[in-house]
Structure 1
Amino acid sequence: MRITAEPAFVLHARPWRETSLLVEVLSLNHGRLGLIARGVKGPKRHPLRAALQPLQSIRLDAVQTGELAQLRSAEATDAAPRLVGDAMLSGFYLSELTLRLTPRGEAQPQLFGAYAMTRERLRSGEPLGWTLRRFERDLLDALGFGFDWTRDGDGEPLDPAARYRVDPEHGPRRLLSDRGQADRSGAATGRGLLDLAADRIPANDDLPGLRRVMRGVLAHHLGPRGLKSWEMLGGLPAGGRAKPFDTPD
């Protein structure tokens, strides 16, 4: 199968044999693709290398005869976001999460659009925590794992004043008022979940709860092997401002 002038985002690239790279991309019409870029490593910098950096938007030509496609050409279609610090790690998280949860070869136009939007939000410096919660919500929706964030698992409207855990298979579950603090720490407020549903930035106090419940849902779908980006962000020194996510509570 020939793939021509396909829009894509570079998720990851790693060495493949002596002079090549294995590049994972999220493409518009073919979903996640594994590409072999032959001859791009060596003593002289190959012009193609600049277009194969993570977060780069590209247009590619390739030929696919099996699980992996042979990359024929690729050109950058814009400048990749120049990210530093927590924003850079958030970009790594964005790509790693997409890479881990998206199957190869299945078109994901909704996810492609969400990735493009989140990439621009990182570029423009929007609040990291809220930017990543929105992407997690949109990724779950695109892959068929999402919920109606306005109702609990039994179909009842969420109470803004209540607290909820999120069952990865059934959605929000209201906590009883007599639950202990340890149990409540893994929950989000109904108000925060309703803000997530409405794409309305939550109050600062509600963001940590959204982070925790989304982490639990994602961990369920990722299986026993977590994400390297979670480990990297967990190792950052504590600071005065809230991080987009941190180690489990």
Structure 2
Amino acid sequence: MSRLQATGFVIHRRAYRETSVIVDFFTRQYGRIAVVAKGARGAGKSDRKSLLQPLQLLMFEISGRSQLKNLGLLEAVQSPIRLQGLGTYSAMYLNELLMRAIPETEPMSILFEQYQQSLLQLAELDVDSPTEHVEVVLRNFEFVLLQDLGYLPDFTTCADNAEEIAPQQSYCFIAEQGFVRCPPTQRYALSGKDILDIEQRHYTQSARKVAKYICRQALLPIIGDKPLKSRELFVSQ
């Protein structure tokens, strides 16, 4: 029976049989993987149960010949990342997005680094931090996710004729294609200046609004139109 080592974060867990849980990890080495943690559920306290929580980088072993592996050795690499307020809901959103968007066992090392960096950036925020700081963290993560999956649009040229995006022109965004010129009066017309600002990660108030719209539309073919539960938490705040 082969044993593999990995480092990663818990992004989801669900009950399995009487005392076990199925844990979804987002790992540096293997992307998203699901493993069975035996004895991790029940009334008693255990180190394994306390470790299998989000926001903590873990090192662990997995083994087994079936598609659903078993969790072996488990230990913390560092202390849990502490979040509060919108930072907590943002991390839940990132985890739910990973569960819906990325296939299992496909390594995504760049996205993993962005995920870890995003959590650390969210940890720097306090309850009084402006919401735009959270928005920038989320948009940057979504753009890396879209890039890794091959869905990130070209922010410098038109999709239909390869003309350069012009700051004074208006464009419509078409998911899985990109930007095409349109009249400024057309519904959901976007400013070329905002598109170019996003390309440079220059997040003005207007660019943040456009970036959110683009990410929502670009993610639809990947995650579908079923609402994300974590987004409802933002609305309720």
Root-mean-square deviation over aligned CA pairs? 1.9
- 1:224 is aligned to 225
Given that 2:197 and 2:207 are in contact with CA atoms closer than 8 Å, whether structure 1 keeps it comes out as no
Number of aligned residue pairs: 230
Letter in 1 for 2:232: E
Structure 2 unaligned runs (5+)? none
Deviation beyond 6 Å, 4+ runs, structure 1: none
Letter in 1 for 2:199: A
Q: How does 1:1-249 map to 2 (within 5 A)?
A: 2-125=2-125, 127-154=133-160, 155-179=162-186, 183-184=187-188, 187-198=189-200, 200-236=201-237
1:128: how far off? 0.5
Given that 1:188 and 1:213 are in contact with CA atoms closer than 8 Å, whether structure 2 keeps it comes out as no
The 3-state SS of whatever aligns with 2:8 is strand
- 1:206-240 CA-to-partner distances (Å, cap 9, x unmatched) read 2112111211111222123231112222232xxxx
Given that 2:169 and 2:192 are in contact with CA atoms closer than 8 Å, whether structure 1 keeps it comes out as yes
Given that 1:25 and 1:34 are in contact with CA atoms closer than 8 Å, whether structure 2 keeps it comes out as yes
1:16: how far off? 1.6
Letter in 2 for 1:81: I
The 3-state SS of whatever aligns with 1:213 is helix
The 3-state SS of whatever aligns with 1:152 is coil
Structure 2: how far apart are the matches of 1:139 and 1:92? 16
Structure 1: how far apart are the matches of 2:234 and 2:16? 27
Specify whether residues 132 and 188 from structure 1 end up closer, same or farther in structure 2 by C-alpha distance, changes over 3 A only: farther
Letter in 1 for 2:192: G
Letter in 1 for 2:180: R
The 3-state SS of whatever aligns with 2:154 is coil
Specify whether residues 105 and 64 from structure 1 end up closer, same or farther in structure 2 by C-alpha distance, changes over 3 A only: farther
The 3-state SS of whatever aligns with 2:216 is helix
Structure 2: how far apart are the matches of 1:192 and 1:134? 15
Structure 1: how far apart are the matches of 2:122 and 2:7? 20
Percent identical residues: 30
